[in-house]
Structure 1
């Protein structure tokens, strides 16, 4: 079947000197478009980047891409800050736009974790040392993977993944919308009244700041937070609705002047979790926009987080 073709490539990522590290990074090989799940007729795939000469099972980072839950794709290479530590990377696809939405895309991401754990021996990875990460929509999804309980009502594992946990050891989520009701209220109206009195709804407009409503309307399959029941659904599908003490360690990051997710969504989530005694670390990129975290000291903070959650040895 065309969608099930496995592409194996040996990549010359290394031995390459990682900037600032002073030691060679391990060589990696990649396996691209590995099917991990078939759901509702959709074959979902992931890309794997695996250390070639690992003498023992390696720790894992699972990358979840952004793109307003409607676009984007898995990465095709591994960043230096993971490669220099010998961390295996899996970058996953999930159902996008109308064929995805909530909770379908959350279910897909959790099933990818289950697939990776099920195939730990095949990939020579440690099933007890799996973190996840993502930015923007991927930040939301990675936080949800980390924070939801085992019995979260997303449809659960597909038959072949029954019995495998979707739990992770830690999560690095950045520039993520964490409160969908707030995000809805921050966005401008998307209702359009015609000359004849009818109401239609416009599509997202990239020129409009914080244009969340058309996207959320689509991703929630037409449901808006217009009643207590619908507000409860919006809460359940975002990190602010999953706050509890016993979440795995989280590294939560905002951009100070983010033009897409306004108002430091991550800071409020971090504070709410800290009030319960959860293990969270917060970073705000001063003058940072909707991008990977920046600023003096951030990469040291990220390194320390990876060392702690993935139990790395220096």
Structure 2
């Protein structure tokens, strides 16, 4: 047998195996924490995976045609694996049109059929034009670097310096503000964690303030909430210097940071907040402690015990007070909830329950579920999930923080 066709067939087979194994994580959950990045990243890299799998499939098919179907077993194996991988890697892209239609309907139903017309024209011109652009998955989302003020200390509880980073629009002035709070199981992270988002939104005309807080296990709840409240107090006291219009301020967070954003926004007698955005934030800690995802790659119970200091039977009041759903009442700020339908850290059904409770109390809420997305889907900033989330997030914030709100 000619060694050249055999070598080519082996290379194609290796590429097929590679594409097959990566695409597999689009449809199956990660059983352990160290495999979780694969389950997070694979759906967001689906355009790349689809291209790779299609290329291998076509080349394998042509090879079989040229060399004979009976001669090249490696090529037949490559063709079979790449065909299955093409189907898996196409899953997010096939679902996209239906998800976009549903998200548009939810936005109009929640904010009003004419909500888009209430967004100032000068803001609309800066918004993304489409919920998903295929080429953007390859070229990336433009994130210009503007004026930044990093490492401002706003408090030092228990001799722990807490700092914030500020991302400004190009021109000096007073702007609506987004206070962003990083995730990390309440145990790790820093204000720079969501820097691409902060820079992107600053370029959209917001002053973005990324804040820090004390971490578990050294500090248990409510230390983290107190730190977010201290940051809000600092922001209000220094609003002019920070270039912030305090009458147009939103809180936004990811995972544990989303939990703190909701918790701070829903507290009575706190600083006024006009909107809150939660990306896959925990909402009912006691229920989440017992009603675990399957599989449970992060070990939810251990994370919650570390955050609170023990289990629900040991600290029932703390679990209750640390749950945003406990603070639901009327006249809360509008809330955007974005969850992944394939999330095995904070399941989307918890966000759906919070949305129902908020609506029942007469509040404005938008619940968006991205069916293929895992926890932390926005780690791939130009992936399908984050493109969708960013499109609706910037419209929600433009609607909620428009002048006169």
Map of 1:209 onto structure 2: 297
CA shift, 1:98, in A, is 2.0
**8 Å CA contact 2:182, 2:191 repeated in 1:** yes
Q: Does 68-77 or 277-286 show the bigger shift?
A: 68-77
> Against the structure 1 CA distance between its residues 286 and 81, is the aligned structure 2 distance closer, same or farther, given a 3 Å change threshold?
farther
Which of 160, 168, 171 aligns to 1:42? It is: 160
> Against the structure 1 CA distance between its residues 136 and 296, is the aligned structure 2 distance closer, same or farther, given a 3 Å change threshold?
closer
Map of 1:98 onto structure 2: 217
Which of 298, 306, 314 aligns to 2:397? It is: 306
**8 Å CA contact 1:26, 1:51 repeated in 2:** no
Map of 2:190 onto structure 1: 73
Structure number with greater Rg is 2
Paired with 1:57 and 1:25, the residues of 2 have a C-alpha distance of 22
Q: Map of 1:142-291 to 2, 5 A cutoff?
A: 142-150=261-269, 166-187=271-292, 208-222=296-310, 224-226=311-313, 230-291=315-376
Does residue 60 of the first structure (1) align with residue 151 of the second (2)? no
CA distances 1:188-224 after superposition (whole Å, capped 9, x unpaired): 9xxxxxxxxxxxxxxxxxx9525122222222123x2
Map of 1:129 onto structure 2: 248
> Against the structure 1 CA distance between its residues 246 and 265, is the aligned structure 2 distance closer, same or farther, given a 3 Å change threshold?
same
CA shift, 1:81, in A, is 4.4
Moved segments of 4+, more than 4 Å: 18-21, 24-27, 295-298
Pick 1 or 2: higher relative contact order, CA cutoff 8 A, min separation 6.
Answer: 2
CA distances 1:75-120 after superposition (whole Å, capped 9, x unpaired): 2735364134211111111000123221110110111111111101
Aligned residue pair count: 259
Paired with 1:259 and 1:278, the residues of 2 have a C-alpha distance of 28
Map of 2:76 onto structure 1: none
CA distances 1:150-194 after superposition (whole Å, capped 9, x unpaired): 2xxxxxxxxxxxxxx533111110111111011110349xxxxxx
TM-score, normalised relative to structure 1: 0.75
**8 Å CA contact 1:26, 1:86 repeated in 2:** no
SS at match of 1:82: helix
Map of 2:169 onto structure 1: 51
Q: Does 98-107 or 285-294 show the bigger shift?
A: 285-294
> Against the structure 1 CA distance between its residues 249 and 37, is the aligned structure 2 distance closer, same or farther, given a 3 Å change threshold?
same
SS at match of 1:97: coil
Q: Does 256-265 or 71-80 show the bigger shift?
A: 71-80
TM-score, normalised relative to structure 2: 0.59
**8 Å CA contact 1:256, 1:285 repeated in 2:** yes
Decide which structure has greater helix share. 2
SS at match of 1:288: coil
SS at match of 1:131: strand
Does residue 89 of the first structure (1) align with residue 208 of the second (2)? yes
> Against the structure 1 CA distance between its residues 25 and 182, is the aligned structure 2 distance closer, same or farther, given a 3 Å change threshold?
closer
**8 Å CA contact 1:97, 1:218 repeated in 2:** yes
CA shift, 1:248, in A, is 0.6
Root-mean-square deviation (CA, aligned residues, Å) is 2.7
Map of 2:151 onto structure 1: 33
**8 Å CA contact 2:221, 2:322 repeated in 1:** yes
Paired with 1:30 and 1:108, the residues of 2 have a C-alpha distance of 22
Decide which structure has greater strand share. 1
Map of 1:120 onto structure 2: 239
CA distances 1:40-83 after superposition (whole Å, capped 9, x unpaired): 111110111112413x3111111100000001111273536413
**8 Å CA contact 2:276, 2:333 repeated in 1:** yes
Where does the alignment leave 5 or more consecutive residues of structure 1 unmatched?
1-17, 151-164, 189-206
